[in-house]
Structure formats: structure tokens, C-alpha cells
Amino acid sequence: MPELPDITVYLEALEERILDRKLEKLRLVSPFLLRTAVPPIREVEGRKVVGLRRLGKRIVMALEGDLFLVLHLMITGRLHWREQGAPLKGKFALAAFDFAEGSLTLTEAGSKKRAALHLLQGEAALAEHDPGGLEVLEVDAGAFAAALTARNHTVKRALTDPRIFSGIGNAYADEILHRAGLSPVAMTQKLSRQEIARLHAATRETLLDWAQRLRNEAAGKFPEKVTAFRKGMAVHGRYGEPCLLCGTKVQRIRHADNETNYCPRCQTGGKLLADRGLSALLKKDWPKSIDELEQPRGKG
């Protein structure tokens, strides 16, 4: 799912291409994409784009007349910039926003169509779609600590909860925790002041660093390679590969559709976190530490 750095770079690319431009036509392929009926969707046609912003992990396109198009890409929704009036071909095509200068197209890979488009009238209606999480790049360390410790959650859950922090998902949470040297299952109310300070710094540094990396990668073009798995990530999506800092094999824990990647030496003091499925299956044979896991067979 595109997160804060990805959405930031999307918005910067959109500002160059559609801000102060008239949305001439909206073409919808999938009837499931549009989640609102009032105002009528045709109300957007002929209106100028007067603003662009991020709302959590959503892209907001402000139009003349106090109208807002709110696009949630979900897991596999992606944006593309094509020539004006580009045909919507293939099973992944969902919509096109046509401007005189080009067409912004939306695709969604996979069979589960989860991407959503809302048309809203007024700031009050828009506010109802805001999960309410803090903008971590806009608050100081004290506000960050207060939000983090208001309830006792695992730190991974807290980082990815949109009601606590805005725009952070699974991928960048893994990277943040690795940079901070913290276990993903550490409880927020048990973190020391020093650990919270490290986490706050790591959160800012990771998000700013990756936004700049994505800008550099796009090199002025529209960002087409938006993915949760990127070369250069320290742990996310790198299960079984060496940690970029210490060389230890990256480990994982899985729950439902979510996977957390971490380095046991850098983050958990060598302890292996219990994977619900494998640890239940192996029971006593489940290794308790990275040293035990890496120990040659026949020794011990």
C-alpha cells in the first residue's frame, strides 16, 4: 500500500501536471470504485483543480465549488500519467481523469478491487474521512510521545494505526523500527524516554529519507515504480536475506495477511520472535534465539 513517502511524491508529480488545470472528463470503468452518489460524479467535469493534499494514505483533489475527490489506492491501486484521452485497456484499468495536458489513469492489480473514490461536498464532509492520526513530520517529540503512549499497544501496531499516526503502513514501520533498534512487539507504555526519542527521530528520518529517494528515482518523471518492496530497504520484504547493518538473516512474524520483518541482532537482542503458525507447530523445537537458529546441526 502506498504510504506517506509514496503519496508525497505522487502529490508532487500531480501538482506539476494538474494543479490549476481543468478536469475535462472523468471516465470510470469499474462501478465498484465510486463509493458515493451525492454529489453526482459528473459535477467534477469542467472544474479546475485548486488544491492537492494527503489525508492519511488518501490523495485529495480539491476542485472549484468546494468539491473534493478522495482517492484511496489501498494495497495495489496505482496512478499513471498518460497521453490525453489514453484508452483504458486491460483488466486492471479502473478510471481516467482527463486534462488537456494528459490523462491521470488508475489501475489496480489483483482480483480484489479495494481502491475507492469518494466525491464530497465541503470541508466538513472531508473531515469525516480523516482517521485522525498525528502528522509525524509536523509534531514535536512531546506530542509524538503522548500519542504513542496513550494506550498500551505493540509499537508496530501503534505506528501503523491511522488513528494514532498518519500515513505509516507495514513497510515503513518495519524500516522505522529497524533504524530505531526496537523490537516490533515492544509495548509502547514500557518504552523508556530514550527509546521513544530514538523512535521519534527514526520515524522522521525514515520518512524523509525515503521521500527523497523516491524523488530521485522518479527524476522529474511521473513515479511509476510505486511498491512496498524496494531495493535498499533494511528489513522489509527481505526475509532470509542479510541485515544491511550486521549481516544477520532477517526474520519475520506473520499474522493473517500481515508480515513483520526484523533483525534479531539489531532489534531484539538476539531473541527470535514467535511466529504464530510455525512456533505452534514446532513447539519445543522452535528456536529461542538467532544463535540457536544459526547453530550448525549436531552441535549444542
Instruction: Looking at the structure, tell me whether residues 251 and 280 fall in a common domain.
Output: yes
What would the DSSP string read from start to end of 195-209? HHHHHHHHHHHHHHH
Residue 133 resides in a domain:
no
| pLDDT value at residue 293 | 40
What would the pLDDT profile of 56-80 be if each residue is shown by its tens digit?
999 999 999 999 999 999 999 999 9
User: For residue 18, how many C-alpha atoms fall within 13 Å in the half-sphere facing its CB?
Assistant: 33
Q: Is residue 285's pLDDT more than 80? A: no
> What's the pLDDT band for 286 if we cut at 50, 70, 90?
very low
**In the chain, at which residue ranges do the beta strands (DSSP E only) sit?**
22-23, 25-28, 47-55, 58-63, 67-72, 77-82, 93-99, 102-108, 116-121, 251-255, 258-262
| pLDDT value at residue 276 | 56
Query: Is the full-model pTM beyond 0.85?
Result: yes
Residue 49 resides in a domain:
yes
Instruction: Looking at the structure, tell me whether residues 52 and 82 fall in a common domain.
Output: yes
Percent of the chain with pLDDT over 90: 81
The mean per-residue pLDDT over the stretch 98-114 comes to 92
Angle at 145 between CA 165 and CA 244, to 5 degrees: 70
DSSP code at position 139: S
Contact criterion met (CB below 8 Å) for 265 and 240 = no
The mean per-residue pLDDT over the stretch 17-46 comes to 96
Task: Choose one of 92, 127, 162: the last residue of a domain.
Answer: 127
What total of structural domains would you count in the chain?
Answer: 2
Instruction: Looking at the structure, tell me whether residues 102 and 164 fall in a common domain.
Output: no
User: For residue 285, how many C-alpha atoms fall within 13 Å in the half-sphere facing its CB?
Assistant: 5
Residue 292 resides in a domain:
no
Rounding to the nearest 10 degrees, give the CA dihedral for residues 185, 201, 158, 144.
Answer: 140
Q: Is residue 300's pLDDT more than 80? A: no
Instruction: Looking at the structure, tell me whether residues 281 and 157 fall in a common domain.
Output: yes
Instruction: Looking at the structure, tell me whether residues 175 and 102 fall in a common domain.
Output: no
Residue 299 resides in a domain:
no
Rounded to whole angstroms, the Cα distance separating 240 from 120 reads: 45
55 or 283, greater pLDDT: 55
Which structural domain range is residue 66 located in? 4-127
What would the pLDDT profile of 159-200 be if each residue is shown by its tens digit?
999 999 999 999 999 999 999 999 999 999 999 999 999 999
